[in-house]
Amino acid sequence: MLSDADRRTAAQSIYGAELGRKAIPQLSRTWPQIELADAYAIQRMWAELHMQKGARHIGHKIGLTSRAMQMASKITEPDYGHLLDTMLHRDGSQIKADTFLKPRLEVELAFVMGEDLEGPGAQIHDVMRATEFVTPALEIIDYRTEVPRAITDTIADNAASGGMVVGGRMVRPFDVDIRWVGATLSKNGIIEESGVSAAIMGHPAAGIAWLVNKLALVGEKLRKGQIVLAGSFTRPVDIAAGDVIHADYGPLGSIGISFV
């Protein structure tokens, strides 16, 4: 377990790496005694540093929702990070690639909460009732630490979240079977990835129920109006300046962005 001073130093290091666009040594190397509780505390401090500069907290992202990714990370549950309004990009945006160190894209669904939701004991049906609408989204994954990374490095680094894009068609959660939302992700006219949302723990709302119960352990909850990225149902795709991206969600519309 780290001291509060070490946690703040670690958060400052990640914040500085993000601003300077230069990866830092893994926190698990600098502080071998780091634990999961430390990692989540560090990411909260990282978010607070941004909010002190005017950023606004708008929700959470969920990661490591697939069994394969959990096994690769040597954990048995997902992880989560924070979403800030400074991370949000609109459909059709031209995004500066050098904002990130080594960006990648993942295909997701975003849930927008219609009411507060708190645990413990939250279930999928609670999430569905509390959700106002669901919309297509892309998450921009970015790491601010060197490789190889331990799970504590990833969590402390805001669960590797660098940004998000929302677009397409907003639907109410019971208007479609959101387990079977399919999507393709194209880069420069070539389909690189495809998937279906049932790959997210069997149901996209399952990860959000997990998140609600996890937040309850630290006295937090999801609030009305917050956005939650439910987790990726494709593998990440590398992106760079000059890439044109199109994510097609069929009946739910599409997202188009470019990197410059």
Domain ranges of the chain: 57-259
Residue with tokens 């979240």: 161
Distance CA 45, CA 257 (A): 31
The pLDDT assigned to 129 comes to 98
Residue 253 zone, left/alpha/beta (φ > 0; ψ -120 to 50; rest):
left
Count the residues in the chain.
260
pTM of the entire structure? Answer: 0.95
Residue 181's nearest CA partner among 231, 140, 220 is: 231
Residue 61's nearest CA partner among 157, 130, 147 is: 157
Distance CA 84, CA 115 (A): 19
Residue 213: exposure state from Cβ atoms within 10 A (0-12, 13-18, ≥19): middle
Ordered per-residue pLDDT tens for the chain, 260 residues? 999 999 999 999 999 999 999 999 999 999 999 999 999 999 999 999 999 999 999 999 999 887 656 666 667 789 999 999 999 999 999 999 999 999 999 999 999 999 999 999 999 999 999 999 999 999 999 999 999 999 999 999 999 999 999 999 999 999 999 999 999 999 999 999 999 999 999 999 999 999 999 999 999 999 999 999 999 999 999 999 999 999 999 999 999 999 99
The pLDDT assigned to 70 comes to 66
The listed CATH number (3.90.850.10, 3.40.50.170, 3.20.20.70, 2.60.40.1120) that belongs to domain 57-259: 3.90.850.10
